[in-house]
Amino acid sequence: MQRARSRWHIAVFLAPAVLVYTAVMIFPLFNTLRLALYSRIDQERVFVGLQNFKTLFGDAVWSEQFWNALGNNLWFFFIHMLVQNPIGIALAAMLSHPKLRFAALYRSSIFIPTILSFVIVGFAWKLILSPIWGIAPDMLDAVGLKSLFAPWLGKEEYALTTLALISVWQFVGIPMMLIYAALLSIPEEVLEAGEVDGITGLSAFWKIKLPLILPSIGIISILTFVGNFNAFDLIYATQGALAGPDYSTDILGTFMYRTFFGFQLQLGDPHMGSAIASAMFLIILIGVCIYLFGIQTRLRRYQF
C-alpha cells in the first residue's frame, strides 16, 4: 500500500523544533565562543584572537578571580557529591523498603524543597540563619550547642560551605527519586535469590542493590556536575552579584554574570564574559566526556 507519498511532511514535523533550537540555543552557543575572540576598542568590535583568554589567565587580577571562582565551584561540587548524593541514596534505600508505611507521604514531603525557587530557599535560610532573628542560635541553645553558632553566611570561611549545604538541602530530592526508581526496578527474584543465600538487610543493600544501581549513581553524578558548574541563582539571591563576603562564595556563574553584565560602577564586558562562558563550556564538556567515555561505558548495565 506504499504509494509514492510526498515526503514533505517530515520536514514540516521537524522544522519548528529544529529552527527554534538552532536559532536560540545552538547558534548563540557558538556565537558566544566566537565573541570571546573579539574585543571592543574605541566603540568598535575588533578581532583580537586569544587576547581575552590571555587576560583571563595571565592578568593577575582576572586570573585570581577566575581561579577563585573555579576553586569555589569545585568545593561546591565536592560538597554535593559528598553530602547530597549519599543522603539521597540512603533516603531512597529506606523509602524502597517494601513494608514501609507512609512512603508516599515521606517522598512527597522530602521533594518539596526541590520545587521551590532559589529566591525562596535563599531568603528563607538567610532569615533562619540570621543572628538578628535568632532561630538558629536558639535552636542550638536548646540542645546545648549555642557556642557553635556563628553568622555562617557572613563569615568568609563558612559562607561557601553553608550555601552548598543549603543547595544540598534543596536538591536532595532529585538523587532520592532517581535512585528510588532504580531500586524499584530491581526484580524480586534477584533479592529472593540473595535471601536464600542468607544475604538480607544491610548486606543485601551493599552486595546486591548498590552494584545494580551504579549506572543511576553515574547519572546523578553527571547531573550534579553540570548543575553545579552552571549554578548562579542561589548565590545571587542570597549574597548578591558580588558573591560576598569578599568573593568567598563567587562561582563561575556569578563571575560570568558580573563580568558580562556589569555591577555597580563596573561596566559590563560581553567579550570577557564570553571568554568565561567558553571556559565554562570547556569544563562542562570535559566533565560530560569523562562521564560518557570513561565512566558510563565501564558501568555494566543489567537488563532484566
219-248 binders of other proteins (CB under 8 A):
219, 222, 226, 230, 232-233, 236-237
| Separation between Cα atoms, residue 89 and residue 202, nearest integer Å | 13
Subset of 155-174 contacting other proteins (CB under 8 A): 169, 172
Specify the residue, 13 or 67, whose C-beta has the smaller distance to other proteins. 13
Best CA proximity match to 153, nearest among 257, 237, 87, 263:
237
Among 49, 134, 187, 211, binds other proteins (CB under 8 A): 134
CB of 101 to other proteins, least distance (A): 8
CB of 284 to other proteins, least distance (A): 7
Specify the residue, 157 or 286, whose C-beta has the smaller distance to other proteins. 286
Residue span binding other proteins (CB under 8 A) among the ranges 1-9, 62-70, 78-86, 145-153: 1-9
3-state secondary structure 25-72: HHHHHHHHHHHCCEEEECCEEEECCCHHHHHHHHCHHHHHHHHHHHHH
CB of 249 to other proteins, least distance (A): 16
Subset of 101-120 contacting other proteins (CB under 8 A): 106-120
Best CA proximity match to 162, nearest among 121, 134, 191, 199:
121
Bond from prior residue into 245 cis (ω within 30 degrees of 0): yes
Total residues contacting other proteins by CB under 8 A comes to 86
Among 50, 128, 145, 286, binds other proteins (CB under 8 A): 128
Per-position x/- string for 16-55, each x denoting binding to other proteins as judged by CB under 8 A, each - no binding:
xxx-xx-xxxxxxx-xx--x--------------------
| Separation between Cα atoms, residue 303 and residue 294, nearest integer Å | 21
| Separation between Cα atoms, residue 126 and residue 238, nearest integer Å | 7
| Separation between Cα atoms, residue 40 and residue 17, nearest integer Å | 34
CB of 241 to other proteins, least distance (A): 10
Sign for the CA dihedral angle at 192, 197, 203, 207 comes to: negative
Residue span binding other proteins (CB under 8 A) among the ranges 52-60, 67-75, 193-201, 214-222: 214-222
Sign for the CA dihedral angle at 77, 115, 282, 71 comes to: negative
How would you classify residue 89: left for phi > 0, otherwise alpha for psi between -120 and 50, otherwise beta?
alpha
Specify the residue, 31 or 203, whose C-beta has the smaller distance to other proteins. 31
Among 74, 124, 204, 214, binds other proteins (CB under 8 A): 124
Specify the residue, 59 or 109, whose C-beta has the smaller distance to other proteins. 109
CB of 64 to other proteins, least distance (A): 22
7 contacts other proteins (rule: CB under 8 A)? yes
Specify the residue, 157 or 288, whose C-beta has the smaller distance to other proteins. 288
Q: Which residues contact 238 (CB under 8 A, 6 or more apart)?
A: 122, 123, 125, 126, 153, 163, 166
How would you classify residue 2: left for phi > 0, otherwise alpha for psi between -120 and 50, otherwise beta?
beta
CB of 237 to other proteins, least distance (A): 6
Among 50, 285, 286, 290, binds other proteins (CB under 8 A): 285
Specify the residue, 12 or 60, whose C-beta has the smaller distance to other proteins. 12
CB 79 within 8 A of CB 165: yes
What are the angstrom distances between the C-alpha of 109 and each of 54, 58, 90, 173, 188?
A: 49, 49, 16, 9, 27
